[in-house]
Chains A and B, each alone.
Chain A
């Protein structure tokens, strides 16, 4: 079946440094790629998404890049802050489907 691989499973960075999380998807027909952040005791929350007709999207300290040829997409967080500590999930889907295919998550730890 379709799947999304996410790496690393845990990422520890110094406050103020950048963090990068990478995902690879298998369904070449996927055209929507969201990133969700899950804080302790809460459900996942959408933080940024990208569609297959663009290669990069930025929102303040967060950016996502997409390489359709390689079927890779990545989340970049700059100037990390303690509140960025959470579990981050990538996902992929076709617009015509209702099912998101999820990665296994990355636990991001920001060290003070």
Chain B
């Protein structure tokens, strides 16, 4: 295992639901990332947190809301999503925000009906 866990592994939600994705890293890293992975496309960086401060928000719609309460935990709060938001959401961590290697969790497979 990589030391990064994500829950739930699978999530099906309607467009009016509110849900949250959780990520936890056990590596002592101080930077954490949310990515969106769609089939046959490059990974899309959504958010970066360094020392619990958000340092990047790549023009992500406001229906995605991140939260980083401490350096080990990262959440992605979801509300009023669209079917095109269905994808694999990956969490990653690294030693620091410019650290070379990123360690990924297994992802949450999200389906929006």
**What residues make up the interface of A, taking CB atoms closer than 8 Å to B?**
4, 9, 32, 34, 41-46, 49, 89, 95-105
Contacts and interface: CB of A to CB of B under 8 A. Distances in A.
A87 to B, nearest CB: 10
Given A43-B2, A43-B106, A102 B43 contact: yes
A41 B48 CA distance: 23
Interface string B76-110: 00000000000000101010011011101111000
**Chain A binding surface, main DSSP class:** loop
Interface residues of B, number: 24
Contacts of A105: 40, 42
Contact of B2 (A34, A45, A49, A103): A45
Interface of B: 2, 4, 31, 40-43, 45, 48, 50, 55-56, 90, 92, 94, 97-98, 100-102, 104-107
A42 B106 contact: yes
B41 A104 contact: yes
Given A43-B4, A98-B48, A99-B45, A49 B100 contact: yes
A44 B2 CA distance: 10
Contacts of B92: 43
Contact of B106 (A4, A41, A49): A41
Contacts of B42: 4, 89, 101-105
